[in-house]
Structure 1
Amino acid sequence: MMQQFYPSVPHDYRFELNKDLNFSAAHFIPSADAGQCQEMHGHTYFVNVTIGGDELDATGFLIDFKKLKRAIHKKYDHSVLNNHPEFENKFPTTELLAEQIWHSIQELLKATDNRPDCLQIIVRETPTSYVVYRPRKEDLQ
């Protein structure tokens, strides 16, 4: 993957981890406002996850990179986003996909002893279009 620089999120944590990953998935947006996106089509989504924390785990990680990949890649790769329960009453737009990825990662982090926070999710849908999702401070508590 080509190295990509994304907007950074301000924070006061001692450590910041960034993980880039990708997956292929199909979706459709069942709304007349979506134009051609009403039809089933696919993307290779590129995702950047930013995690911050002050404490490392016993191994010296904020979180193991492969746990992040497993949480997202295993869930979404080669699937139809519309079929996932989190999109049952929502359209699987890139904005809502970024938000759902944040929820998945934050739940994973809450279960760790060192409890870092997911500060930002970036989902690139095409080479020219991406979405940045940043939780509110109260979402991190």
Structure 2
Amino acid sequence: MMQQFYPAVPHTYRFELNKDFNFSAAHFIPSKEAGKCQVMHGHTYFVNVTVGGNELDPSGFLIDFKLLKEAVHKRYDHSVLNDHPEFKNDFPTTERLAEQIWTSIQSLLTTRNNKPVCLQVIVRETPTSYVVYRPNREDFQ
């Protein structure tokens, strides 16, 4: 896999974890402004998740990398994004996908006793286009 460098998110946590993974999915954006993207098409999405925290779990992890991948990969790989309930009222743009991935990851993290937080999600739709999603501070409460 090609090494990617992404924008860093400023924070004061002792630990920062980054996980890269990819999945394949199709979508369409039913809006005139979307041009060619109005028609169903697919992407191999590349995702980077940044997690921060001050405490490790009993195994010495902020969170197991595998759990982060499973939270997203199982949900979206080889699917049509438009068919997912979280996109019922929103078009599955890369921006919305990044936001939904953050929501899934943060929900998982809130179940952890060491309380890590998802600081940012980056979703790369094509080799030249990606979105960075960073939550507002109040999103952690």
Same fold flag (TM > 0.5): yes
Deviations 1:16-70 (A, max 9, x none): 0000000000000000110000000000000000000000001000000000011
C-alpha distance in 1 between matches for 2:121 and 2:91: 18
Q: Residues of 2 paired with 1:134 and 1:69: CA distance?
A: 19
Cα distance in 2 for residues equivalent to 1:115 and 1:109: 6
Regions of 4+ moved over 3 Å:
none
**2:64 matched to 1:64?**
yes
**Whole-angstrom distance in 2 between the partners of 1:77 and 1:21:** 11
Does residue 90 of the first structure (1) align with residue 97 of the second (2)?
no
1:106 matched to which residue of 2? 106
Gap runs ≥5 in structure 1: none
Distance (Å, rounded) in 1 between the aligned partners of 2:3 and 2:49: 14
Partner Cα distance (1:79, 1:62) in 2: 29
Which residue of the partner structure matches residue 138 of structure 1? 138
Q: TM-score, normalised by structure 1?
A: 0.99
Q: Distance between the aligned counterparts of 1:85 and 1:62, measured in 2?
A: 30
Residue 31 of structure 2 aligns with which residue? 31
Gaps of 5+ in 2: none
Partner of residue 10, structure 1: 10
- Helix, strand or coil at the partner of 1:52: strand
Task: Please report how far the alpha carbon of residue 140 of structure 1 lies from its aligned counterpart in structure 2 after TM superposition.
Answer: 1.4
Inter-partner Cα distance in structure 2 for 1:51 and 1:12: 12
* 2:37 partner amino acid: C
| SS of residue matched to 2:19 | strand
What's the % identity of the aligned pairs? 78
Letter in 1 for 2:7: P
Query: 1:10 is paired with a residue of what secondary structure?
Result: coil
